Amino acid sequence: MAALLQWLRQDTAGLLTLSALGIALLLFLIIRVKTEPFIALLLAGLLVALGAGLPVERIVGSAQSGKESLLEGGFGGILGHVTVIIGLGTLLGAVLEASGGAEVLTRRLLGAFGERRAPLAMGLSGLVFGIPVFFDIGIFVLAPLVYVAARRSGRSILLYCLPLLAGLSVTHAFLPPHPGPVALAGLLKVDMGWIIIMGLACGIPAWLVGGVLFSSWIGRRLHLPVPEEVGAADADARTDGRPEPPLALVGTIIGIPLVLILGATFGGMLLPRGSAALGVLTFLGTPAVALTIAVLLAIWLLGLRRGMTRAEIGQLTAASLRPVGMLLLVVGAGGFFGAVLAATGVGKALAGALSSAGLPLIVLAYVISCALRVAQGSATVAIVTTGGIVAPLLAGGQYTQPQLALVAVAITAGSIIASHVNDGGFWIVSRYFGIPVKDTLRTWTVLETILSVVGFAVAGLLSLVI
């Protein structure tokens, strides 16, 4: 036993085996035991740390040591980066939803594109409205508009829901303030502006191929009616008595944080260091500051000025933040698991194995993320676990910010591949749009795979020239 432990802790093959055993344990706990991902990540991290022979004081800390433990540093390091951004992004999405901004955006696009191009309008709605809201919230808000468009045309609901889903999925995978890209920005030390640039560069082609081309092709070959249980009410009708917000105002509020963050990124490239203009751009373009500005404007312009009371705003924001707690716990536990893998020396061992195998890092990141996604279903778990494995490999390399952002995109692309029955999103799509399980596999699962493969392919091509 002693010889086995020594091999696991000191030999390159042993370290890689220890890492593989830790990931296998993580998957077993999530898939077979049905353990909450937060608990599974925490337990797997502790057992791997003990198996690697790390001192207890380093794992959990002690009053005598006075040093930050892996448990504190792993959780705190990543949560200190993502908590404010995810919280503010959630608040922004909640105000936009409650104000009717999503309905205005989608109805105007449907009117502008006409009935013939209504599927494209639905896709654009998902792409734009998906920036500030989580994937499932986007479905809940926009699904009634899909029902209306499909019922009026008499065509397959797939022609309308798949483009919408593609837009929501692309923004959720590739763009801040969604948890995956935000977590990777912290884990890989990437500027958020570059995450946005590379996320758009890879996500938009993926949306065009999956959300436009594939959705049109499969929607014309597989006719599925609007589910009867959703009723025949017209989603265009508003019952709260408040005036709807102007489309330009909705678009402006969604775009403000993106413009400010990108302004800071390009300002750092074009303006002299230490200049007053760069200081202003850097301050306003800090993601937390940019999102705070957008949230305050949304509360004022979409809420208070359009008839919401302060009490209603308070109830809305409190309710929107409740589901964020478990998400943050999963991200934090993933940060701890990644810190343990880094502390064991697995990163160096994996770097050596990669150099001998000649496998590009961006390919490795994508493959690991794909495997974790397919095995356990959670995109967030796949992202934070892969980020923890890959981060040590990047630490010693001379990677530029754009190159690091492309690795982050590869990881997030892998995290959405092949959504199937172990993914909660699979069942949300099947239930809300009345798609049988067999047809959900033929449509939604294939759509997610296309988005993943195309997004990674573009990232891979860009990595060859950047």
Cβ neighbours for 282, distance < 8 A, ≥ 6 positions apart: 264, 267, 268
Instruction: Name the residue among 314, 291, 258 with its Cα closest to residue 92.
Output: 291
pLDDT at position 231 is 43
DSSP string, 59-115: HH--TTT-S--HHHHHHHHHHHHHHHHHHHHHHHHHHHHHTTHHHHHHHHHHHHHTT
C-alpha 250/C-alpha 98 separation (Å) is 12
C-alpha 319/C-alpha 317 separation (Å) is 5
C-alpha 357/C-alpha 45 separation (Å) is 27
Give the distance between the most distant pair of CA atoms in the chain. Answer: 74
Contact 383, 195 (CB under 8 A): no
pLDDT at position 235 is 45
Contact 95, 333 (CB under 8 A): no
**Which amino acid is residue 417, in one-letter code?**
I
C-alpha 368/C-alpha 359 separation (Å) is 12
Cα-only R_g, the chain: 23
| CA atoms in the 13 A half-sphere facing the CB of 116 | 0
DSSP string, 265-276: HHHHHHSPTT-H
pLDDT at position 261 is 87
Length of the chain: 466
pLDDT at position 351 is 56
Interior/surface letters 194-212, b for 16+ CB within 10 angstroms, e for the rest: bbbbbbbbbbbbbbebbbb
pLDDT at position 97 is 77
What is residue 229's DSSP assignment?
A: G
pLDDT at position 230 is 52
User: Where does residue 65 fall: left (phi above 0), alpha (psi -120 to 50 degrees), or beta otherwise?
Assistant: alpha
Structural domain boundaries of the chain? Answer: 25-48+68-465
pLDDT at position 236 is 45
pLDDT at position 238 is 45
C-alpha 436/C-alpha 47 separation (Å) is 41
Q: How far is CA 164 from the centre of its chain?
A: 16
Three-state DSSP class for residue 231: coil
Listed as ranges, residues in the chain with pLDDT below 70 are 1-12, 62-66, 229-242, 346-358, 396
197 is written with which tokens? 């640039």
Q: How far is CA 44 from the centre of its chain?
A: 23
H or E stretch at 324? helix 324-343
Contact 58, 346 (CB under 8 A): no
